[in-house]
Each structure stands twice: as C-alpha cells, then as structure tokens.
Amino acid sequence: MEPLKSGSTIGILGGGQLGRMLAMAAAQLGYRCVGYAPEGDNVAAPVSAAFLTRAWEDRAALARFAAECEAVTWEFENVPVTALDAIPAEKLFPPRRALEVAQDRLEEKRFVEALGGRTAPFATVDTPNDLARAIESIGIPGILKTRREGYDGKGQWRIASAGDRDLLSSLRQPAIYEGLVEFEAEFSVILVRGRDDEVRFWDSPRNAHVGGILDRSLFPAGAAIGAQSEAARDLAKKVADALGYIGVLTLEFFATGDGPVFNEMAPRVHNSGHWTIEGAATSQFENHIRAVAGLPLGDTRSVARTVEMINLIGDAAADAHNHLTGGDTHLHLYGKAEAREGRKMGHVTRLER
C-alpha cells in the first residue's frame, strides 16, 4: 500500500485528549483528521478538520465516516469492537484483533502468556464461588477487576480479607482476580511498528501511580528498570508482531526481583509517553500518524538527559500556568470544560538537556 498523500483524511475514533494530540500531529504532517465519538466533552473536536458526534451503534454514520477517510485509527481502547464492522479492514490501523485482545483482561493475559510473558497469578471470576476458589488458590491480598472497560483505576477493588469477597455481588459483568505482585518499580515499554514491520522503541520511563491513575513518568528510569527493559522490549515486540500491529503500542510492566512482569497493554498512544513530545526526536503522536499513513518512522531517541512528565488531575490544573516559571518546562492543557476528581486536565513536562 502506498503512503497517504498530503491532504488525505485520517479518521480517529474517540474524542479525548489523545485524539486531540494525534490530530495536531497529523496536521503538522499535512493530513486532515475527522473525529467520531458519542456526545461528550470531545476535546479533539476543536483541532480536527471535522467531527461527527454520533452513537457507536449508528452503523450508517460510521459507514459515512469511514468512506470519508483513507485510514482510520482510534485513541480510546473502549471503542466497541462492533463499531469496527462498518470500517473496511484495509483502512483500519491498528488491526481489529488488537482491540479485541486489549479489551478483555482475561484474553489479554492469556495472549501474553502464550507468547512467553509472565503475568501476575490470575483466575476467572464469574460467581461468588469462583472468587472463593480464586482467593484460596492465589491468596490474599489481591485485586478484583472487571474484565472489560476498566482504566485509570476504574473497575478495580482491592481484596484484603476473605470478607471482601462480597464485592462480587455488586458486579454485573465478568471479572478476574489477580494476586498482588511485589515490585520495585513500574514502567512502560512504548513502541511503534510501521507498515513495513519495522519496530522502534522509546526509552522506558518509571511510572508512579496515585489511586490507580498515572501521576508522573520519569526518565532515566533507574537501574532496576534499565536491567529489565530489554526483556520487556522482547515481549512487547512479540505482541506487536503477533497482532500484525501498525502504530504505537504500550505495554506496562512491574520490575521485580525475578524480572519484568506484564501488567496490561494499551493498543494506542499512552499517557506515559507524553514526555516524547518534547523529550524525544519524534513524539509518539507523530510516529503513530507516520505508521498509520505508511510514512517512514521517525527517530525515537531521547533528546534530554532527564525528563519528568506530571499529570494535572482535577483541580491541579487550576493554577497550571504557574508551572511555566520553571526553565525548560512545557504545559499542555486539554481544553476540558469541567475539572473533576480523577480527571486528567493536562500535563507538564520538565526537561534537562
């Protein structure tokens, strides 16, 4: 397939901040973006050439959207897989299979295990008896997670004692129970894979979470992560190759005394890669668009000695401009109308070059 010509249209499913930054990167490369998402605070709309506000179930609207685009991608892994039925497979990057695997935590873990990856111990939980057996087999403490639609700490409950198993009575969907992993640090592997199967990696940051939400990413990541990043990269490449992946893919890991333990994957650009906008030769957003468009991939080397990316969550964005008093500091506000607890309103990146 030939690279997309300048002026071509790339469709983005989803209207959040990742779509916003993808559309801005696409415009820089000479492409126009059309977004598609249901009613909501679609902050990608103001920077897109056009934006369709329609339901995921509107098959006719999705077909019209796809017909306008030379290529289609997504910025949100909870796009219903059925919405992709209206989009020709040859236009869709990454492929449908990536979304199918990543949307189901059980499927995701089995997929990674089959490729030789190591995960936390886990068990399927559909009934109270399943949870009791999982607790007996895996032990306490652990984490009960919905199999679908959980992100940023949503759909997760810590099981600290056998009495907490009553949490299952409030669930209305299949779940998975995971044993806790003793780890020294959390990190992510972010790669881009082109249409020609070339794979490039950015440096792995150390990630710090608060309440299940990424608070900040730091680079250099430290000795423990440095010693395990190569093994984690090997697994990430196996995942990308097995999926026939095109675009940016992120795998999150725990650095443990026995090597990297896979946590979860995101088939999209990722919050822990925001630092690449200023801190790498080519950002994750530009390289995703390059891959989708069939262009040569950009250099992923870091261009700063140290990088700190800090999420502005909820009210933390109220005085965001105060961050600009620091030297090599870069502010990104997403244009969201309402600050709520746990809501990502923007991010700040600080560098030393």
| CATH value at residue 131 | 3.30.1490.20
Task: Give pLDDT tens digits for 150-201.
Answer: 655 567 888 876 666 566 666 667 899 999 999 999 999 999 999 999 999 9
- Enter the DSSP assignment of 298: P
| CATH value at residue 235 | 3.30.470.20
Pairing of strands 206-210, 185-193: antiparallel
Q: Do 73 and 198 fall within a single domain?
A: no
pLDDT value, residue 166: 62
For residue 34, is it within any domain? yes
Asked if residue 272 lies in contact with residue 217, where contact means CB atoms within 8 angstroms, the answer is yes
pLDDT value, residue 162: 64
Q: Do 238 and 254 fall within a single domain?
A: yes
Tokens coding 233: 């990269």
Q: Do 216 and 344 fall within a single domain?
A: yes
Give how far the C-alpha of residue 278 lies from the chain's centroid of Cα atoms, to the nearest Å: 19
> Mean pLDDT of residues grouped by 10 in the chain (353 residues)?
95 98 98 97 97 98 98 96 97 98 96 98 88 88 84 72 62 85 97 98 97 94 97 98 98 97 97 98 98 98 98 94 92 95 96 96
Q: Do 136 and 258 fall within a single domain?
A: no
Q: Cα(267)–Cα(105) distance, rounded to whole angstroms?
A: 13
Task: Give pLDDT tens digits for 129-155.
Answer: 888 888 889 998 898 888 987 655 567
* Amino acid in position 159: I
For residue 252, is it within any domain? yes
Q: Do 45 and 73 fall within a single domain?
A: yes
pLDDT value, residue 155: 74
Q: Do 128 and 198 fall within a single domain?
A: no
pLDDT value, residue 46: 98
Asked if residue 244 lies in contact with residue 235, where contact means CB atoms within 8 angstroms, the answer is no
**């961050």: which residue's tokens?**
323
Q: Cα(158)–Cα(317) distance, rounded to whole angstroms?
A: 29
Structural domain of 79: 9-92
Tokens coding 294: 């069939």
The count of domains in the chain is: 3
Q: Do 223 and 241 fall within a single domain?
A: yes
Q: Do 320 and 194 fall within a single domain?
A: yes
pTM reported for the whole predicted model: 0.95
